[in-house]
Amino acid sequence: MKGAFGEGQMDQFDLVMLIPALVLILLPVIPVLYLLKRVGMSLAWALLLLIPGYGLIAAVWVIAFGRWRRFGIDPK
């Protein structure tokens, strides 16, 4: 039974919606990667941004209160 979309149109609609969603999810990762590289922290911390909702808060927390090896700054 066919719905409002034909078989080929539904696949195309999924792709059209997937691409902007991926761009919006990955967009904040790029500046955080540069920031982590500049302060000498592991780039793996950028994976926190992939957690919906709390990922950005966790990433900012790690950067703000973590040790910046490149500058020798320890916030404690």
Is 46 a residue whose pLDDT tops 60? Answer: yes
pLDDT of residue 6: 54
Q: DSSP string spanning the chain?
A: ---SS-HHHHHHHHHHHHHHHHHHHHTTHHHHHHHHHHHT--GGGGGGGGSTTTHHHHHHHHHHHS-BTTTTB---
Q: Flag whether 43 is in a domain.
A: yes
Q: Flag whether 44 is in a domain.
A: yes
2-44 pLDDT tens trace: 555 555 555 666 778 888 888 888 888 888 889 888 888 888 8
Question: Domain span at residue 25?
Answer: 7-65
pLDDT of residue 38: 87
Q: Flag whether 60 is in a domain.
A: yes
Q: Flag whether 73 is in a domain.
A: no
Q: How many domains does the chain have?
A: 1
pLDDT of residue 25: 82
Q: Flag whether 25 is in a domain.
A: yes
